[in-house]
Amino acid sequence: MELCRLTAAEALARMNAGDLTSRDYVQACLDRIAEREETVQAWAFLDPDLALRQADAADARRAAGTAGPLNGIPVGIKDIIDTADQPTENGSKLCAGRRPEADATLVRLLREAGAVIMGKCVTTEFALSAPGKTRNPHDPECTPGGSSSGSAASVGDYMVPLAIGSQTGGSMLRPASFNGVYGMKPTFGTISRAGMSPLSRRLDHPGIFARSPEDLALAAGVLMARDPGDRDMRGHARLGEADPLTVPPRLAFVRGPVWRKGEPDMQRAIEAFARTHGEVITERELPPVFETAAETQGVIMNGAVGQSLGPYYERDRDGLDPITAERVERGQGVTARAYLEAIELAEDMQDALAEFFKDFDAVVTPAAAGQAPRDLRRMGDAAFNGYWTLMGAPAVSIPLLKGDDGLPIGVQVVCPWGEDARLLRVCRWIADQAGEWR
């Protein structure tokens, strides 16, 4: 196996056994980037010498017996998350040359765990809908999804084993689906957003891309740490390993209120998946209050975008991509009454979902409307993710299905609030049963 194809857990095991150095692993990833970046274009900033210096420092720590839980593992960082030694430009020419003075909290935690901050991954402008340069590694004519486009594509193309993204609507799980990787949006308030460009205080979630549930657990165990710099932190116990379940989970297959937006091949594939595992999967409908869930999420997100990006719009509207400018204008039209009514409705949905989960360990539902669209100006429809983001519940996209063109389609798994460890165990069980453990 090429070294770049090792998962983080596999690489750590070999490093701890003395069979691999961080320098060799990072160099293998850099070689993969050199081979494929012209096609995939996942990186907004990359300094190979800086990456190798970090790898050498990791090897020295391992030799001294002071290695952290991610020592020597290369990680890509979405370019809306501050890094003190690398630019953070938010995917926008309005932020060209921006150099933060300090790391975001999650970057600091990764460094303390020994990770190699490999570089900055391409994002759509301000993590909205205006695409960057990244292409889908499975088919360069297809979108990688957004907004965490470079983060998902870099993991999907074996450039790094881990990358950090964010989700306000569907920016983690949809790209994970399109790029054939695992994507985790944890419980709201469990990974700090301090040092991350904001869109919506009510909806923004940092998240993790990986190629196995083990790797999700490794990264989440480092990142889920309470931070007073984010006033919405809920706090969370560290996860440890994604240990296997001892009994099968109780799963609910949910089509959801936006099922009609799904492509026929996705609908057929996930229905077949649910039938195949009928001994543990029961089809259920969400409570009626969810009928307007997607619209409710849209009101909250758009209203927040009008406020958070308003200063950039006022300073230089023409400097924004027209797609971004239109989103800001749409958000500025959201009234305070509509926003507050949407917040109250979301709380009613959260109460109803808590009751729903009393009968199930997890929900399985589509991670995307279908396979990646063959259109580089479209990021794909986030409808199947947005209302779960609104709920703040933890969710993972598992790369299990294929579309009519053979491109990946993910299965989204959702657990109750704070049950991130359970979510990872359920994902591991599903992946094992499906023969797709990666």
pLDDT at residue 1 above 80? Answer: no
Asked whether residue 414 is assigned to any structural domain, the reply reads: yes
| pLDDT greater than 70 at residue 90 | yes
Cα atoms in the 13 Å half-sphere on the side-chain side of 373: 15
pLDDT digits (tens, 9 = 90+) for 146-193: 999 999 999 999 999 999 999 999 999 999 999 999 999 999 999 999
Residue partners of 228: CB distance under 8 A and separation at least 6: none
Is 171 designated active site? yes
Co-location of 260 and 189 in the same domain: no
Backbone angles phi, psi at 258, to 5 degrees: -115, 20
Is pLDDT above 60 for 237?
Answer: no
Task: Encode pLDDT of 282-338 as tens digits.
Answer: 999 999 999 999 999 999 999 999 999 999 999 999 999 999 999 999 999 999 999
Residue 211 domain-assigned (yes or no) = yes
Cis peptide before 147, with omega less than 30 degrees from 0? Answer: yes
147 in catalytic set: yes
Residues 293 and 401 in one domain: yes
- Amino acid (1-letter code) at residue 132: G
The total number of structural domains that make up the chain: 2
In a shared domain, residues 178 and 291: no
Asked if the model's pLDDT at residue 344 lies above 50, the reply is yes
- Is 125 a domain residue? yes
pLDDT for 236 equals 63
The tokens for 325 are: 């400018």
Same domain, 203 and 263: no
- Domain assignment present for residue 433? The answer is no
- Give catalytic status of residue 402 as yes or no: no
Same domain, 146 and 280: no
CB 376 within 8 A of CB 131: yes
Mean pLDDT over 335-347 rounds to 98
The residues, ordered by sequence, that sit 6+ positions from 30 with a Cβ below 8 Å of its Cβ are 48, 51, 52
Edge-to-edge order in the sheet of strand 281-283: 43-46, 116-121, 74-78, 162-167, 205-210, 182-185, 395-402, 408-414, 362-366, 251-253, 281-283
Domain that holds residue 333: 251-418
| Domain closes at, from 223, 238, 266 | 223
Q: Does one domain contain both 181 and 288?
A: no
Q: Is the pLDDT of residue 240 over 60?
A: no
Helix residue ranges, H only, 41-98:
48-64
Q: Is 8 part of any domain?
A: yes
CB 303 within 8 A of CB 334: yes
Question: Are residues 310 and 164 part of one domain?
Answer: no
Assigned domain for 427 exists: no
Between helix 8-16 and helix 22-40 the angle, nearest 10°, is: 160
Instruction: Choose, from 147, 177, 200, 397, the residue flagged as catalytic.
Output: 147
Euclidean distance between CA atoms 193 and 173, whole angstroms: 18
**DSSP category for residue 73:** -
pLDDT tens sequence across 36-71: 999 999 999 999 999 999 999 999 999 999 999 999
> Is the model's pTM score more than 0.85?
yes
- Residue 209 in domain: yes
One domain, residues 219 and 297: no
pLDDT > 70: percent of the chain: 97
84 — pLDDT class (breaks 50, 70, 90) = very high
The reply to whether 214 and 314 lie within a common domain is: no
Query: Residue 436: pLDDT band by 50, 70, 90 thresholds?
Result: very low
Q: What's 103's domain CATH number? A: 3.90.1300.10
**Are residue 13 and residue 76 in the same domain, yes or no?**
yes
Taking residues 198-215, what's their average pLDDT?
Answer: 97
Predicted local confidence at residue 277, as pLDDT: 87
Determine the pLDDT at residue 437. 32
- For residue 127, what is the DSSP state? G
Strand-strand pairing, 162-167 and 205-210: antiparallel
Q: Which of 223, 241, 271 is a domain's end point?
A: 223
Residue identified by tokens 């150095």 is: 21
* Residue 235 pLDDT level (bands cut at 50, 70, 90): low
Active-site annotation holder among 22, 78, 92, 177: 78
What one-character DSSP code corresponds to residue 81? Answer: B
Each residue's pLDDT tens digit, 246-291: 889 999 999 999 999 999 999 999 999 999 888 999 999 999 999 9
Q: Do both 133 and 195 map to the same domain?
A: yes
Q: Which of 171, 192, 197, 397 is catalytic?
A: 171
Tokens of 53: 């210096």
| 307 in the same domain as 390 | yes
Q: What is the pLDDT of residue 334?
A: 97
Q: Is residue 236 part of a domain?
A: no
Token pair, residue 388, equals: 């779960």
Instruction: Give the model's pLDDT for residue 434.
Output: 75
